[in-house]
Structure formats: C-alpha cells, structure tokens
Amino acid sequence: MPILNVSQLVTLEHYIAREEYKYPGATGEFTHLLHDLSFAIKIVSRDVRRAGLNDILGLANKENVHGEEVKKLDEFAHEIIVSAMERSGRLALLASEESEDIILPQKKYSYGKYVMVFDPLDGSSNIDVNVTIGTIFSFYKRIDESSKEPGTLEDVLQPGYKQVAAGYALFGSSTVFVYTTGHGVNVFTYDPTVGEFLLTNQNVKIPKKGKYYSTNEGYYNKWEPNLQQYFQFIKEDNKVNGKEDNKDDMRPYGLRYIGTGVADIHRTLIYGGLYLYPADNSMPQGKLRLVYEANPLAMVIEQAGGRATDGKTRIMDIEPTSLHQRIPLFIGSEDNVLEVERFLDGTHPYLSK
C-alpha cells in the first residue's frame, strides 16, 4: 500500500513554480528564494535529526571526528541559512535572532530587492531534550526595490502587513514546511526517502474556536488581574451546577504547552484554540520578538482565518522600532483571541460577577 496516493504527489518545488504562473509578469526571483530556503531547511533538518549523535562525538574533545569545532545547533542553523540565502543575489539583507545587527550578503554576491528575517531555531530550551523545535522565516521587499546598494535597518523595520511571504519549518515527529504568500496556507511534509517536501495539507483553515490554551502558566502571579480572571473563567466547567449546556462554550479548556512557540502555534493552527505569551510585571514588553517571531506567525495564522494581536492591536499593524523588539502575543482561533481581549479591555461580563 503506497503511503500517498500518486495523484497527491505535489512537491514543494512544483507547487511554488505552479503558483508563480498565476502572477503575470512574475520574474521567478521569489521562486528561487523559496527553493534556496527549502534546501537550507533540508540541511538543518538533517542536522537536527543527528543532533544527539553529533553531541556525543563532539563531547569527547570538543571536536568531532573530523576535527571540526562542534557548534551549538542554533548557531549552526543560522550559518546554514545565511550561507544558502546570501549567494542568491536576490537579498538586500538578512536579519536573524542569532545576530545583533543586520547581516549583509558578502560583497561577492549582488544585492537584490528582498529582505529575509528568521529565527534559525525557535525553542532553544528544547534542543537538548529531543522536543520539537522549528525555524521561522519571512520575506519583505526592500523599501527602494530598484536599489543595488546594501540593505539598511530601515528595510527590515517594516510592519508585518508588508510581508510578501512567511512561514516556518517544524522538526517534530516529521519535518513540515508551512508557508503563505498571502493566498492561504499550505503544509508540506518532508519525505526523507525521496528528499522532497510533499504537499500534505492545502489551504489550511484554523477552527473558529478551539478548546486548547497554551501558555507558561507558571507566570500567573505576574500577570495583570483581568488576565488572571480569564484563567479562572476558562477553567470553569460549563456543565456544573445544572448550568445550560452551551455547545459553543468549550470550558474547561485543555492546557497544552510545548515551550517552543512555533510548535505550540502550529498545533493551534491545526486544532484551534489560543496561544498567549503576555506581558508580565518582570517583562512589560513580553518575551517574543516582533520582527522574526510574531509577524511571520501572525501572517500564517491570519491567512488561515485566525487572529493575532498584542492584546489590543493587530500584530501586523505595529511599526517596529528595533530589530529585536519584544511584543506580547495573543494568537489563534478568532473567537478565542476575541474572548481574551474582552478580559484585557474589561468588557467581558464574567468580570462584573
């Protein structure tokens, strides 16, 4: 019995090329960038899958058997992605969580009209314990598209609604590549036996409401009182004390928290619900990064029909002021995000009980 029906065998490369035909006048430049990125992701995936082995070899003398220095996996993923992408000649600059400043392609490559931002390996606390981690990415057009000069910080500090594509790769029970160019979200799963990403879920839609919430609830005491009330509310059982059984009321919600934002948000995309990383009294700006975490994930979730805000404002409307800016994030099914927002703005009827 074949694993996939033959009619479903659409590779990522094939899909990207097919998409391009839909845009008269498309130059194919962007298609090439996505090809380069999928190549980089295959390399990162291979090395994530061998991470434990590399560590054991490396631990002996701090060098592996080839006499090479053993790098931390997140630094390694950063280097692979920069090296695969800079040589395309289509990027004006890159920006990564692993680099303090913007990264310019080496002088021997030319500067193109696109900007790439990425988090090479999200979920760093999970790398050494075999729990799902992922790479987040997004692309913008530089402000002056005709410029042949190196890109500038201004080219990166654009609001998320200007992203031309965004997505992520997840290294979990399989490796998946999820991306959107603003026309729906598609999921590709890596088949290592043929070395290709195959289309496994086309035009994914997030459920309008879900019964999972995902957050580090250990910080409960640091949160604002209205948010604490939200957590009381979602744990109440809608069926106790002879209350009317309302099918839309899914309480008590179930808790799921991997601690890798991109993995928690991927589950939220598929099953519905809410992922939140709020501000608290020790991190008033929140923890997650606007440019290379919140914006790309917001674009994917919105394209799937969901919602992403900082509790008030749409994430993709926020003007970034610095490369590593942090932001509170409430993201997921539309109804769940609206529900928590009503607690934050004090209008939810539960608050007046």
Binding site for ligand FDP (CB under 6 A): 122-125, 216, 259-261, 287-288, 293
In angstroms, what is the minimal distance from the CB of 259 to ligand FDP? 5
In angstroms, what is the minimal distance from the CB of 288 to ligand FDP? 5
Which CB, 168 or 197, lies closer to ligand FDP?
A: 168
Which CB, 113 or 287, lies closer to ligand FDP?
A: 287
Which CB, 10 or 288, lies closer to ligand FDP?
A: 288
Which CB, 105 or 120, lies closer to ligand FDP?
A: 120
In angstroms, what is the minimal distance from the CB of 305 to ligand FDP? 22
In angstroms, what is the minimal distance from the CB of 159 to ligand FDP? 20
Instruction: Return the sign of the alpha-carbon dihedral for residues 13, 87, 294, 152.
Output: negative
In angstroms, what is the minimal distance from the CB of 55 to ligand FDP? 18
Encoded tokens for 69: 């220095």
Q: Is 32 helix (H, G, I), strand (E, B) or coil?
A: helix
Q: Edge-to-edge strand order for the sheet containing 165-171?
A: 91-96, 114-122, 133-141, 165-171, 175-180, 185-191, 196-201
d(CA 249, CA 73): 43
d(CA 36, CA 249): 45
Encoded tokens for 207: 């459920």
In angstroms, what is the minimal distance from the CB of 348 to ligand FDP? 25
User: Smallest Cα–Cα separation from 278: which of 351, 337, 227?
Assistant: 227
Query: Taking CA 159 as the corner, what is the angle to CA 153 and CA 163, rounded to the nearest 5 degrees?
Result: 95
Q: Which residues, 6 or more positions from 91, have their beta carbon under 8 angstroms from its beta carbon?
A: 33, 85, 105, 111, 112, 114, 115, 116, 151
Which CB, 73 or 82, lies closer to ligand FDP?
A: 73
Which CB, 96 or 200, lies closer to ligand FDP?
A: 96
